[in-house]
Structures are given as C-alpha cells and as structure tokens.
Structure 1
Amino acid sequence: MSKYGKIMVSISMFFLTMLGLYGFQQGQNVHAKSIFVDVADNYWAKEEIEYLYGNQIISGYEGNQFKPTDPVTRGQAAKMIINAIKEKESTPSKPSFSDIKGNQFSGYIERAAQLEIISGYDDNTYRPNVNLTRGQMSKIIVNAFDLEKSQSSKTVFTDVPSTYQFASYIQTLYNERISNGNGNVFEPGKNVTRAELSAFISRALDDRFKVTAQDPTPAPKPEPDPEPTPTPPPATGLTGEVTADVLNMRSGPGSSYGLVTAIPQNAVVTVHSIDGFWAKVTYNNKTGYVHKTYLKLKNTSGSVLQNRIITIDAGHGGKDVGAVNGDIYEKDIALAVAKLVEQKLKSAGAKTVMTRSSDTYPTLDGRVQTSINNHSEMFVSIHTNAATPSASGTETYYDTSKNENGAESRELAIEIQKQLIALIGTKDRGAKDNSFLVIREQHIPSVLVELAFISNSGDLAKLTSPEYQELFAEAIFRGIKSYYSK
C-alpha cells in the first residue's frame, strides 16, 4: 500500500470515530424512510449516507441528526486517517507543525505527518481548523485508493484550469465516476460537506455508487467486429429466441455487412455456429449472421447450460473488503459462493468466466470489460448486504434503464430470487430494478445478487456457514438453469 493507500480506509474510519464509524455495504432501502431526521427521503446523498451508516463507517449526532451540510476540517480529516489505518496518536517533543500544539487533533495530525500521509503549508503550519476543500479531497481520494491518476491536467470542468494544482486529481475522480461535479463545474475551492464526503467515500469504496459521467465514453455496444479467430465447429441442436424488438440478419459476421432480413422479437432461429459475438443462423429459409447478444440461446437436447458463456462476478476484493462485521468481510463470502457457482456451472457444461478467482480488486469497468472480452451471454454479480441489525433478507437486482436486455435480466433475477428464498429461507426482499454499473453497462442478461445481510445475526450465521454457502450457490445455479429452461 502506498503512503496514501491508507487514506481512504482512513476517511472511512474517521467517520468511524469522528462521525461514528459503523458498517458497510448496500443494505439501503432506496424507498425506505430516512434514518436521520435532517436527511430527507429524497435527499441526493441519502443512499450513500445510509450506506456508510449501515456499514459502521459513520453515525450521526444527538437528536438523530446527520448535519449533511456541515464542513469537515483538516484536523478532523487527520483523525479520520489515523483511526482508519489503526494507528495511534503521536506526541513528540517537537511538533511537525507550528500551529498544532494544544489542538484536539494534534496527535492524529502528528502521526499522519510521520507516515507522510498529509502535509502542511509552506509556512510550516497545518491549519487544523481550516475546512477541507473539494480540490484537496480529490487528491486524498485518488491517493488513498491508488486510482490511476489522469496523465492530463486538462479537465472536463470549466472552473478547473489545467494549471490548477489538483486538476489531474479532479479529472481522475471524473474518469473513475466518483464525481461528475455540479453541471459543468467542480467547485474545487468549496468546502467539502459531510454529505459530499459521504458520497465520495461510498463511490470509492463501492463501485455500485459510482455516478454517470457528464460526457462518458459510450458503453461498448454489441456489434463490434470480432478479431479473426478460427471458426468453431457447427453448434448442434442449438436455437436462439430473439430478445430484441427487431434483430437484423446480415450477410456476414459484422455490422458493416449488408442486411439480409429483419427478424421479429420472440422469433426462434436455428443456430449453425457461433464466432465471438456473431451467430450464423437460419430463419424463414434465409441464412445469415446476427449478434448473439440478442438471442436467448437454447440447447434442444442435453444440458441447457452446455457451452453457455456465463460470467460470475465475486463482489469487491483486495483493498475493497466490502461489508464488514467484526473480522468477517463481504469479499470473502462473495468469492466463496462465486467459486461454488462456477463449479456447478462447469459440471453442467457451461463455459464460465470469473472476474476474480482470488483476493484481487478488479475495477467495476474492468469487471464489465472482462465479460465483454469473453463474449459472455450472462453476467451474475454476487454480494452481501448490510444495514441496521434489524434488516434482513435476500434481494436480486436487474437494470432496465440502459441494459438492452433489461427484460431478460428481470426474468433471470426473478428465477434466481425464487430459488434463493426456497432454499435459504431468508426474508424475500424481491427482484428490483436498479442501475448498478456492472449490470447497466452491458447488454446481456445481468443481475446483482444480495445474498443476505452481513449486519444481521441470523443472516450472518447462514452467510458464514459452509453448508449454507453451498445452498446459496445451488440456488443461483438453479435460477440460471431455470432461466435457460424457459
């Protein structure tokens, strides 16, 4: 971990001590009543605030208040950092800064300086009571999470010139979808509020909170021309049901080839072979090529899962531990269940792709790209939930806002949710439409499964039980199989 690699863990943990560090992961009920009296149900950062609260990263003030618009000082930030990395205050005989002696945060500031996590001003002051700005915070976030710093100081924001000292860090937050500013401006000199910092932390800790950029690079559309590869042997006994409103059949395997015919939704085609994203098919006595993303492929004999390419995404990983309950991490549970799902799918003849098979941290975009690069036909992301101790149950998410196979994603989510409730016996929180990035930024049937709540004692016992982990995996496997059987 770099010298700043500890910072974000810190920022989270300041809110652990400072704001009342508590929990993790996304147990938020998007339509539930707000936990805090001064955070309205429709408040822009409600979900992020409650996400941190539910994961023991923050708490509120007396009177059940959060004070979302209050600023965060540089002294408070130092305490966040030191508490987060589980360091102790330092009280040397000679302070590193001329203005921190007697300050309530002096020990934290001193230790952070010793670890080269923070620095002061040219006049040897730290200015602990000065509020932290959005520009300063951008550098902390980038360094803390080892984000790939933008190589350019040119930003998309009209109020951040390329000469500004934090320009490249601000552009990095934009690139990583941690901040999209306020319209065309970033307001780098503005004080960071508790709500804003909560949003920054949530997006840095969990990719599912990341925002849509103002001018994002379009998600890869299905219909890329695949690189030349050997043509696989003809698929035997394979059909495809069209899931798009209209699917164009072309004379060759690429969108540049001429149109042969248009195939209507729900029509069934005979599949002769598949090469990358393109399937050679026959429909109404006409043969040509269609993009397989818009086909629900079905084997007419043998295993319904034979040769289906399915990406399994174990949530979080590496430095991103996910939801936490004591020394139990979401990332470990997700990986354990994901590996069991992988084994079951392979045994049924499926071709599986894992976004991670060990304790590593793929970015959210990286997970999506892994799926696309492997010509996947389905994507299943596995997570655990967290909120208040009373929250419990299982829920499965799909996206219809952008995923062009949103209807198929919904069907997959319903099947998996049904099997989970039947086998595990957790509270049924339903299949829900939500635009989490990993299921939104691709066009195959994609779901995000919240197995159960790590913050609930009953759910936790199941999540950590090898027997129940096997059942979780079996339920997901059965849900996938049921989807392909319909």
Structure 2
Amino acid sequence: MLKKVLSCAIAGAIVVSSPVAVIKDFTVLKAEASTNFYDVPTNHVGYDEIGYLSSKGIVTGYKGQSGSYFAPQKTVTRAQAAKMILTAIGQKEATVTTQRFSDVSKSHWGAGWIERAVQLGIFSGKQDGTFGPEDTLNRAQMSKVIAQAFKFEGDVSLGEPFDDVWVNHDFREHVIALYWEGITTGTKPTHYSPWTNVTRSQMSMFLARAMDPKFRVKVSQGEPEEPTPTPTPIQTTTEAVILTNGLNVRSTPSTTGSVIGSLSKGERVAVHSVDNYWVKIQYGNQVGYVHKLYTKLRNTSGTPVAKRIIVIDPGHGGKDPGAVSSGSTEKAIVLAVSQSLEKKLKAAGAIVLMTRAGDTYPTLGDRVEFAKNNYADMFVSIHANAATASANGTETFYDTSSNLNGEESKLLAAEINKQIVSLLNMRDRGIKDNGFFVIKNNNMPSVLVELGFITNTSDREKMLTNKDLFAEAIYRGILEYYKK
C-alpha cells in the first residue's frame, strides 16, 4: 500500500510524500495574508470575513494556474477546524507525549492542535477511542465548537429560531447561542440544516463574526447563497469515478503541477481525454488533471469497455507448461481461452494487450512491467488449477496487501468468478485475497483466475471443450465490473 506522510496548513493544504512515483498529494502554501483570491470576488458573501481571517494568517489560499484561489465551497475537516479555532483565540498547539486517539498518531500534522482543543474542552473524541481528524465538520458540530471556544451560552427563553433543531438535539443550546449573538443564521429563515457540511467560506464567516462584532448579522435572516460557478459544458462519453478521498486536481499532467482543488471518493467527473497515467477532467468551470490509478474510468454510453486498456496474461508458456494432466497442459488451455477473450474485448472496443501471444515464457516480472508500461486499466491473469483428482471448481484471486487498487480488484474478481460459476456450472470455490506475484506487484485492478482443475476429469473436459464459454464468462464479468 502507498505509505503517506501528511502535514497540513490551516486551510487544509496537505502534502504527501511517498517513496514511489505515483502519489496522491496536496501542495502546502504559506499564509497569503491577502484578499486577492480570484474565486472570492468583491461581491462574494464572505469577502470581508475571508479577507479579515487571511490578514491574520488564520486561513490561507492555494496557488493555481491563474493565481491564488480560496476554494470557498470546499469542506472543512475536524483537524482543520481545530487549528483554525485555536489560532483564532490565540492558542498554540500542545506538545504531544502520549497518543490520545487511535487514529491520531503523535506524528500527525494536527496532533498538537487536536490535543490542545481537547484539553480546552472545545473538541472531544468518539466513543470508540478515535477522533476522526479527516472527517468533515457539519453545521451542528460547528455551532458547538465555536460556542465552547468563545464561551457563548444559549438562552432558550429567547425563542427557538429553527424548526429543524429539535428540543432533544445536544447542540441545540449552542445553535441558539450563536444565533442570538448574530454569529450564525439559517440556510433559510426557519431552517438551520444542522447536518450539512461546513464550507471554508461558511467557517470563515462564523469565525470572523465570533472574533469581531462588526461582522455580526441581524437575526431572522437566512444566509445568502454562495455563488456557484457555471461549469463549461463539454461533449464526452467517459466519466471518472474517484476511488479515494482527497485526490488532487492539478493544473498540468504532472505531480509538480499546481493544485487547483480536490475530489472525494465516489465523485464523478467528465473526462476530456486520457494520456498515459493522467486523466484530463472537467473540474467546475476549469479543466484539470487527476492520476488515473485513483479513478475508475467508465463509459456513459456505448460498450462499457470501449477504449479501456486491458492486459490479458495467459499463465506459464514456453519452457513452463504449468500443470499437466492426461496429456493436457495448462499453458495451452489458458492461451486458447485468452485468445478467445481477446477477440471478444476487441470487438467491444477495448484496447487489448497480451503478455504472450504464443508459446513463449515471459517472467512474472516481465508480465507486471508490461502492464505498467502500457498504463493498463486492468490486468487479468488466467490459469488452471491442479491438486488431487477429487478437487474441482473455480476460484479467483485478488490482493489487498500491496496492490493500490486492491478493493477494485476484489470487485472485479467477484464479477468474473460469478459468471464462470454460472455459465459453466462450476463449483464455486469463491474469491480469495492472496499475494500472487502478478497481482500483488501491479497497481491497477488485477485478478488471477483459476478456471478449474486440470487434474479433475470433469473440469478438464470443460476447459478443453468450452474455451469460448470460459472466455465469454470472463468477458461478462469485466463488463459487469465496469457497469457498477
């Protein structure tokens, strides 16, 4: 797995260092101390408050291709909020000698800020002993931590301003306190939307109002809506589904390109083009680049596999026959199935590459490097099993210990295994997490399929006479993977 070392500036700018070439990182910026963010125009609802906090170094911006930007609609994490609030009230981070929370190591960038926030009673941990430093902060939680940090106390006798803050909510008194102080208003006149995540713009406004009364608002007013950029429409039939949280969107197709924003797991963005490991996407009203290995590229029309680079790896070959039984060899069986699968995928528009097209023997390392050097979207290694004569059935392997896309590999394995069992009436031996070299050392979704047992009479006969049907089953499994 990629090992990550995180550090963070107050506004959530994070850098990740890694010993491998492919990294998921953010770029740290120094404090801007300026209101000159191109995405915060003078008519922005939080313009004054953001400028105020920026001048004090409480919030910072990011460097983009077009200059500095603030990303006002980006959400705020619990760790970021802890640092922002403590900086606002003049506190320093604590020296951490003992790890308090299981998910906040002493080396975590926010450990000292989190420790001080807990010491002051501003934040608390969860019942399971974690803090959730990267969890987003919602409006209910925001009201509580700001009220506790600035010592605002609620008086329910003044009235209940919102009909979605119920009497049994543990944050009710804090919402009431901030409301009557003119620090927080509702998203609508009678709605507070307590479970909505807090944006950087909102957090800036709340903090500025708490710090300086000149920013406070009259009660009984809804918060003005933040302007939403109008995306530039594009014509595309491909989308990228984001597979990890905090994926950087860069201005150029390089890890040295400036960061213009980030995406969360499960988000979908339109794809302009794909070049090697970089995916050119539509990011709001901008064009940016994300790393291919952290995305699942899907076609929104046409065949699911069109333009996908799929590497098929027929096991063994050449000097290595693989398993042998009753005159049949594993290398011959899997090559025939692989060649049939190649035809089916190509007919559907996929870019299909074979680690071997004949009776040759590429090493295990050669097979892995072949897939990586061709920037494959998927790697499927095909084998036949061997054991005692009674052993039978199909099983498919994936690796989550080292493969960056282990979870995606598991999903692919499940779909392929299910189709083989169904179409060939094979015994289902299930999918299994195992570190076979070719799937462990790859970084794209990778599986190793054991079609059946060459040492079992029934399985062997199926593999010899139903090669196209095995190929069809694997093909259908790949299609189902891309559809989901």
> If the length of structure 1 is used for normalisation, what is the TM-score?
0.51
User: Does the residue aligned with 2:304 lie in a helix, a strand or coil?
Assistant: coil
Query: Secondary structure of the residue that 2:366 maps to in structure 1?
Result: helix
- 5 Å-filtered alignment, 1:232-251, equals 236-251=236-251
**Corresponding position of 1:328:** 328
User: Counterpart of 2:335 in structure 1: which amino acid?
Assistant: L
Q: Residues 47-68 of structure 1: CA distance to partner in whole angstroms, max 9, x if unpaired?
A: xxxxxxxxxxxxxxxxxxxxxx
CA distance in 2, matches of 1:437, 1:445: 14
Which amino acid is the alignment partner of residue 355 of structure 2? T
- Verify: 1:266 aligned to 2:266, yes or no: yes
Match of 1:343 in 2: 343
Which residues in structure 2 correspond to 1:64-75 (within 5 Å)?
A: none
Q: Measured at CA, do residues 219 and 442 of structure 1 come closer, stay the same or move farther in structure 2, by a change above 3 Å?
A: farther
Q: How does 1:436-475 map to 2 (within 5 A)?
A: 436-465=436-465, 468-475=466-473
Aligned residue for 2:387?
387
Aligned equivalents of 1:480 and 1:436: distance in 2? 20
The structural deviation recorded for 1:286 is 3.6
Q: CA shift at 1:409, angstroms?
A: 0.6
Contact preservation (8 Å) 1:235, 1:273: no
The corresponding residue for 1:18 is: none
Query: What residue number does 1:50 align with?
Result: none
Deviation by residue 1:190-234 (Cα, 9 ceiling, x = unmatched): xxxxxxxxxxxxxxxxxxxxxxxxxxxx876478xxxxxxxxxx9
Quick one: distance in 2 between partners of 1:276 and 1:266? 22
Q: Does 1:283 align with 2:286?
A: no
Segments of 5+ residues of structure 2 without an aligned counterpart are 1-18, 25-233
Aligned residues: 257
Moved over 3 A (4+): 218-223
Secondary structure at 1:426 match in 2: coil
TM-score under structure 2 length normalisation? 0.52
Question: d(CA) in 2 for partners of 1:358 and 1:380?
Answer: 17
Deviations, residues 118-171 of structure 1 (Å, cap 9, x unaligned): xxxxxxxxxxxxxxxxxxxxxxxxxxxxxxxxxxxxxxxxxxxxxxxxxxxxxx
> What is aligned with 2:304?
304
Shift in alpha-carbon separation, 1:459–1:383, aligned structure 2, 3 A: same
CA RMSD, Structure 1 to Structure 2 (Å): 1.6
- Looking at structure 1, the residues matched to 246 and 368 of structure 2 have their Cα atoms a distance apart, in angstroms, of 25
**Percentage of pairs with the same residue:** 52
CA distance in 2, matches of 1:263, 1:297: 15
Q: Deviations over 1:384-410 (max 9, x none)?
A: 000111100000001100111111111
Q: Please give the alpha-carbon distance, in whole angstroms, between the structure 1 residues aligned to 2:267 and 2:345.
A: 27
Distance in 1, matches of 2:357 and 2:438, equals 17
What CA deviation, in whole Å up to 9, does each residue of 1:73-113 have, x standing for no partner?
xxxxxxxxxxxxxxxxxxxxxxxxxxxxxxxxxxxxxxxxx
The match for 2:293 is 293
Deviation at 1:303, TM superposition (A): 1.1
Return the alpha-carbon distance in structure 1 between the equivalents of residues 21 and 327 of structure 2.
38
Q: 1:453 to 1:280 in 2, by over 3 A?
A: same
Which consecutive residues of structure 1, in runs of 5 or more, have no partner in the other structure?
1-217, 224-233
Q: 1:308 to 1:402 in 2, by over 3 A?
A: same
Q: 1:235 to 1:324 in 2, by over 3 A?
A: farther
Corresponding letter in the other structure for 1:447 = V
CA distance in 1, matches of 2:410, 2:336: 25
Q: Which has the higher contact order (CA 8 A, sep 6+)?
A: 1
Letter in 1 for 2:481: Y
**Given the superposition, is the C-alpha separation of residues 294 and 268 from structure 1 closer, same or farther in structure 2, using an over 3 Å criterion?**
same
| Cross-structure match for 2:474 | 476
Checking the alignment, whether the CA contact within 8 Å between 2:412 and 2:481 is kept in structure 1 is yes
1:430-453 CA-to-partner distances (Å, cap 9, x unmatched) read 011111111111211110000000
Mapped to 1, the partners of 2:298 and 2:454 lie a distance apart of 36
